[in-house]
Amino acid sequence: MPVIVVSGGLGSGKTTLLNHLLRQGMGRIGVVINDFGDINVDAFLVQGHVDATATISGGCLCCLSDPSELDDTLALLARPSMDLDVIVVEASGLAEPRELARMLLSSTVTRIRFGGIVEVLDAAAWLPGPDGAIDPLPVAVDHLQVASLLVVNKDDLLHDHPEAAQRLTEALQRHAPGTPVVRTSYGRIDPTLLFDAAERDAPTGQLSFTDLLLEHGAKDHRHDEHDHHDEAPVGADESCHDHACDHAHHRYSSVSVESPLPVDPRRLVAFLEHRAPGVYRVKGRTHVDVPGNDRQYIVQAVGGWLAFEKRPWPADTAPITQLVAIGTGIDTEAVEEAMRACLSEEGPLDPDRLHAMTRYTR
């Protein structure tokens, strides 16, 4: 199960983004909320249609004196009985995302994997202050460099400030070249960019809160256009329908390759280690034609992190290679060509070729 960290400065829109993900009704989401104060205000602001939640208050997660508190929380949410698709950690606005990534990568919880860092940038912070003063970089460089995905929130505030928009663009290009960027308002990003939901039987009986919201949304396509200078209050109508959210939801692309051919491990790892600019996730399963190998290698890559997992092939399933790359602003033809270049027609390969994948295999 992926664990995704949502980080960003105070007031950048982390809780708004989280509420948007919950409101979409895609999959079952577990949430860990970390507030710096002893009273976890953010937990009150997260709307009620979360599938499972846990709170850690009194300080930043990255400063916990006992890191096992986070592991215990993740172990609870990762239990099979919870039937979750993803866990989202909303970090305190003062947290260090690099340290949070380290904690997740070193976690002893075996049922989770690191799902990347979504860094929320507040577009308003790039506007001139009341006195006309300009902060050339109102975000820590390390936050930009460690992010798997950058979300520029409240982007509409920059429409009338081209100089501020240019400063932001140049800063991202300088400090986070190649990192995917989503520009949006009200935290509206498509959940399928972040995680996959398992297929489940249609619900029967009483509708859940999320089902009711979706049913209401299907009947009510109203969307009031308005100017805003901050995030909408919790409970405000931020529904996304048709034309109103095209700008927010459809700024990513996916590229798929399916072939009965096996992969060359060295070429595949080289592709994953040096992904094209804008590629956020790569997932799939691969056939490796090496004498003695009868397993498939499941690949999961996000941001600068990647891992393989060896699994048996399902019964009555012929070995196959299936790869999907997901990103923003990507050259789909070039990415597909690079993925197909990982396929091999050489026949059985020398077992030494597997070493490239072994160091990333759990």
Q: What is the pLDDT of residues 220-260, one digit of tens each?
A: 433 333 333 344 333 333 444 333 344 444 468 899 999 99
* CATH superfamily placement of domain 2-193: P-loop containing nucleotide triphosphate hydrolases (3.40.50.300)
Q: Strand, coil or helix: what is 330?
A: coil
Check residue 25 and give its pLDDT: 80
Q: Which ranges in the chain belong to alpha helices (H)?
A: 14-23, 41-45, 68-77, 97-105, 141-146, 162-175, 209-219, 246-249, 265-273, 332-340, 355-358
Check residue 67 and give its pLDDT: 59
pTM comes to 0.78
Q: Which is it for strands 113-122 and 2-8: parallel, antiparallel or unpaired?
A: parallel
Among candidate residues 299, 85, 107, 355, the one with its CA nearest the CA of residue 194? 85
Gap between the Cα atoms of 117 and 8, Å rounded: 10
User: Which range (52-66, 79-93, 100-114, 259-273) has the least confidence?
Assistant: 52-66
Residue 133: CA atoms inside 13 Å, Cβ hemisphere, count?
A: 5
Write b or e for each residue in 340-354: b if 16 or more Cβ atoms lie within 10 A of its Cβ, otherwise e.
eebbbeeeebeeebb
DSSP string, 221-265: --------SSPPPTTS-----GGGGHHHH--EEEEEEEESS-B-H
Residue 38: CA atoms inside 13 Å, Cβ hemisphere, count?
A: 0
Which positions ≥6 away from 330 have C-beta within 8 Å? 253, 255, 276, 277, 278, 279
Is residue 210 within a helix (H) or strand (E), and if so which, with residue range? Answer: helix 209-219
Check residue 217 and give its pLDDT: 47
Structure tokens at 253: 């692309």
Report yes or no: 175 and 141 within 8 Å, Cβ to Cβ: yes
Check residue 202 and give its pLDDT: 60
Q: How large is the average pLDDT for residues 130-157?
A: 92
Phi, psi of 41 (to 5 degrees): -60, -40
Q: Strand, coil or helix: what is 341?
A: coil
| Strand-by-strand arrangement of the 295-302 sheet | 252-259, 321-328, 279-287, 295-302, 305-312
Q: Where in the chain is the domain with CATH 3.40.50.300?
A: 2-193
Q: CATH assignment of 252-358, given 3.30.1220.10, 3.10.105.10, 2.40.70.10, 3.90.1150.10?
A: 3.30.1220.10
- Whole-number mean pLDDT of the chain? 80
Q: Where in the chain is the domain with CATH 3.30.1220.10?
A: 252-358
